[in-house]
Chain A
Amino acid sequence: MVLLSLPCWLRSRLTDRFWRVQAVLKHARHFRGRKNRCFKLAIRSVQRAFVKTTKARRKKKSFMRELWITRIEAASLEHGLKYPAFIGNLLKCQVDLNRKMLADLAIYEPKTFKSLAALAQRRRQEGFLAALGDGKEPEGIFSRTVHHY
């Protein structure tokens, strides 16, 4: 509906400006400086903060994976194995634990992790024997895989 005369134009006024401003400022209350109080500075910071939050959700996944890998590397070095050897040999044994579970086991179940490290070490030795041996020795026990097809 088009309001054609001046008094009609002035009739509607914004009455909830306070709450619209507060809806933005509530996300800026923990910021430093004037941008936690003043709306014009706050909307800029709040918009950037929301964009950063959105982008960080993707980066969080890779950051967490790096952290798990660092922790697994530390724990496997305690047992004398390097991380690539540990992970590769566990995969060859068809132990499909992901890095999150391995890191949690390393922190809270140290004996379980030690047995996993021993398994990986044994599979590694069997792999060396299979590659470097003459083929006269029998196949390794832990090198046997289960085929699901």
Chain B
Amino acid sequence: MASYTKAAQQWATFARAWYLIDGKLQPPGKLAAVSVIRLQGKHKPMYHALSDCGDHVVIINTRHIAFSGNKWEQKVYSSHTGYPGGFKQVTAAQLHIKDPTAIVKLAIYRMLPKNLHRRTMMQRLHLFPEDVIPEDIRNNLVEELPQPRKIPKRLDEYTQEEIDAFPILWTPPKDYRKT
């Protein structure tokens, strides 16, 4: 506080920050949970619902999100056009092909509080299917948030030294044949 004047400190406190999250191989629900906290401003100690203290969130690589289980085939997104016979049901895989940002967008929209601030908070969310971001958004970014899920390594990503250093759990008998 010694080097800031009070006006500069207040300006910095009420400024809107831009956060970046990489969605590669992440579950969209966990991405949404982290983003919703930042969009509402609940990560700030001076949070209040009326203060409009939410921040911007940029999510990249939404095309590469990863559902756990069989949700790509089993999760159904429903909508109705309003006309008779207009009830449409699409699986997550079909929706993802049609629009790669829609799954994350719907997940965040449904997690935000259901009030009039929701639309404003959705305006502050920016989704990109790949990691190509426009110049002006890239200049605004302040911090990259850690990914919510730890990505496990594939077998071919382990180095030979790590494979050798792994402890031997059991010794196969002499007449063991790997089928």
Q: Taking beta carbons and an 8 Å cutoff, which residues of A are in contact with B?
A: 67, 70-75, 77-78, 103, 106-107, 113
Q: Are B45 and A75 in contact (CB under 8 A)?
A: yes
Complex Cα distance A72/B45, Å? 7
Q: Taking beta carbons and an 8 Å cutoff, which residues of B are in contact with A?
A: 42-48
8 more A-B contacts (CB under 8 A) besides A107-B45, A107-B46, A113-B45?
A67-B48, A70-B42, A70-B47, A71-B46, A72-B45, A73-B42, A74-B44, A103-B45
**Among the interface residues B43, B45, B48, which one has the most CB atoms of the partner chain A within 10 A?**
B45
Complex Cα distance A106/B45, Å? 6
Across the interface, name the chain B residue whose C-beta is closest to A106: B45
Complex Cα distance A74/B41, Å? 9
User: What would be 23 A-B contacts, judged by CB atoms less than 8 Å apart?
Assistant: A67-B47, A67-B48, A70-B42, A70-B47, A71-B45, A71-B46, A71-B47, A72-B45, A73-B42, A74-B42, A74-B43, A74-B44, A74-B45, A74-B47, A75-B45, A77-B43, A78-B43, A78-B45, A103-B45, A106-B45, A107-B45, A107-B46, A113-B45
Across the interface, name the chain A residue whose C-beta is closest to B43: A74
Distance from B120 Cβ to chain A, minimum over Cβ atoms (Å): 19
A-B pairs with beta carbons under 8 A, tally:
23
Complex Cα distance A72/B46, Å? 9
Distance from B47 Cβ to chain A, minimum over Cβ atoms (Å): 6
Point out the residues of chain A lying under 8 angstroms from B43, CB to CB. 74, 77-78
Point out the residues of chain B lying under 8 angstroms from A77, CB to CB. 43
Point out the residues of chain A lying under 8 angstroms from B48, CB to CB. 67
Distance from A105 Cβ to chain B, minimum over Cβ atoms (Å): 9
Across the interface, name the chain B residue whose C-beta is closest to A104: B45
Point out the residues of chain A lying under 8 angstroms from B42, CB to CB. 70, 73-74
Point out the residues of chain B lying under 8 angstroms from A74, CB to CB. 42-45, 47
Distance from B1 Cβ to chain A, minimum over Cβ atoms (Å): 9
Point out the residues of chain B lying under 8 angstroms from A73, CB to CB. 42
Complex Cα distance A113/B46, Å? 14
Distance from A74 Cβ to chain B, minimum over Cβ atoms (Å): 5
Point out the residues of chain B lying under 8 angstroms from A70, CB to CB. 42, 47
Complex Cα distance A118/B45, Å? 17
Distance from B107 Cβ to chain A, minimum over Cβ atoms (Å): 21
Distance from A69 Cβ to chain B, minimum over Cβ atoms (Å): 11
Across the interface, name the chain A residue whose C-beta is closest to B44: A74
Point out the residues of chain A lying under 8 angstroms from B44, CB to CB. 74
Distance from B79 Cβ to chain A, minimum over Cβ atoms (Å): 33
Distance from B16 Cβ to chain A, minimum over Cβ atoms (Å): 16
Point out the residues of chain B lying under 8 angstroms from A71, CB to CB. 45-47
Distance from A82 Cβ to chain B, minimum over Cβ atoms (Å): 13
Distance from B29 Cβ to chain A, minimum over Cβ atoms (Å): 19
Complex Cα distance A70/B48, Å? 9
